Amino acid sequence: MSVLLETSAGDVVIDLLVDYAPKLCENFLKLCKIKYYNFSPVYNVQKNFSFQTGDPIGPDSKESDGGSSIWGVINGPARRTFTADLHPKLKHAERGTVSMATVQSPRDADERISASQFIITLGDNLDFLDGKSAIFGKVVEGFDALEKINDSFCDEKGRPLVDVRIKHTVVLDDPYDDPPGLLEPPESPVPTKAQLATVRIGEDDSLDEENDVEAVEKQRREREARAQALTLEMVGDLPFAEVKPPENVLFVCKLNPVTTDEDLELIFSRFGKILSCEVIRDKRTGDSLQYSFIEYEDQSSCEQAYFKMQGVLIDDHRIHVDFSQSVSKLSDTWRTATNSKRRQGGGGFGGVSGLEKKRHYKAAD
């Protein structure tokens, strides 16, 4: 009597010890038959010791009930667990031993109960599990898959960072009659929303950062830019994090300090109508900071200026032009409009109802 587990780490074939643990084997076989274990995650991986699976959602999810026996699936939560028989001759002596996870029964301290979760050992002579987990099978094929799980990178709870899941279960031989009410699905069910919500890094996601250094660096910069934009949105400097610079504004730098707004507007106006042209100056001294922003009426004029004016000599300085990456003007417009709406509401300080400006000193009597 055997079952094939198709996992994301590889196929595993389990022979069942029906003569020693008939009820445990029946529960496992029927759960496999109804595809109960499909998309169940591997968790609690302890290197060279064991790993655990069998909870369809996983213990990390608040929606998990810990799993159910086949009788609980058919007859309801009242029969979610069953008494597990621990055969005295069966020991966790070799790697690949398969046993049901058990807990002490609330009704009898000497009795242990199981549901659906099971354990597969990753080492030999694990007598710590004897008397705690109920053995019902052993792995006969797929030790390479066990080795992959053993070598997986895990968090502090033993959950692999790259998901390892049971994809399918195939019953190769079943000596038991189906219990009344058992319904075998015609095909493997798709993962539920609760299961998909527990996915971390999918098995198809590549973690080999050495394959493309440029791509990894690009992703890092994009993540950093998104984080910075979100910070600016939170402090009110941006209307929203995804704001993009206008496509009709040109950035001009490396200007001669003597170049004025009027000079630039005259030179760049041959490409189209200019809405604004401003050389940025020091607020205190009024000296040119040698760069400016030119806003065209349409995007095509801006593009023409970009292609034609790169490296052109103006006032003995060879300028550099680029499309603007600044969103300051958009932010100013948004901020002005927002404050205007608040003021219309009246009350408070700065138009915000309930907010009052605090006095630093008491008014003199």
Residue-wise pLDDT for 23-47, tens only, equals 999 999 999 999 999 999 999 999 9
**Model pTM?**
0.57
pLDDT at 343: 63
pLDDT in tens, 263-306: 999 999 999 999 999 999 998 999 999 999 999 999 999 999 99
pLDDT in tens, 295-339: 999 999 999 999 999 999 999 999 999 998 877 776 677 667 766
Q: What is the mean pLDDT of residues 174-182?
A: 91
Burial class (CB in 10 A: 0-12, 13-18, 19+), 233: middle
Measured CA to CA, the distance from residue 69 to residue 58 in angstroms comes to: 15
Backbone angles phi, psi at 297, to 5 degrees: -70, -35
- Which carries the bigger pLDDT value, residue 338 or residue 148? 148
Phi-psi region of 163 (alpha: psi -120 to 50; beta: other; left: phi over 0): beta
pLDDT band at 61 (very low <50, low <70, confident <90, very high): confident
Helix ranges restricted to H, the chain: 22-33, 70-75, 143-150, 193-196, 213-235, 261-268, 299-308, 328-345
pLDDT at 128: 92
pLDDT band at 218 (very low <50, low <70, confident <90, very high): confident
Can you spell out the DSSP letters for 222-283? HHHHHHHHHHHHHHTSSS-TT----TTEEEEES--TT--HHHHHHHHGGGS-EEEEEEEE-T
Contact predicate 173/2, CB 8 Å: yes
Backbone angles phi, psi at 56, to 5 degrees: -55, -30
Measured CA to CA, the distance from residue 324 to residue 278 in angstroms comes to: 13
What stretches of 60-173 adopt beta strand conformation (E)?
Answer: 82-83, 97-101, 103-104, 112-114, 118-121, 133-141, 166-171
Measured CA to CA, the distance from residue 53 to residue 148 in angstroms comes to: 15
Nearest to 158 by CA among 68, 69, 58: 58
pLDDT at 208: 52
Nearest to 249 by CA among 297, 319, 309: 297
pLDDT at 114: 94
CA angle 131, 132, 137 (to 5 degrees): 85
Number of Cβ within 10 Å of residue 15's Cβ equals 17
Number of Cβ within 10 Å of residue 83's Cβ equals 14
Q: What sign results for the dihedral spanned by CA atoms 191, 196, 198, 204?
A: positive
Q: What sign results for the dihedral spanned by CA atoms 210, 215, 218, 223?
A: negative
Backbone angles phi, psi at 288, to 5 degrees: -65, 135
Measured CA to CA, the distance from residue 176 to residue 23 in angstroms comes to: 10
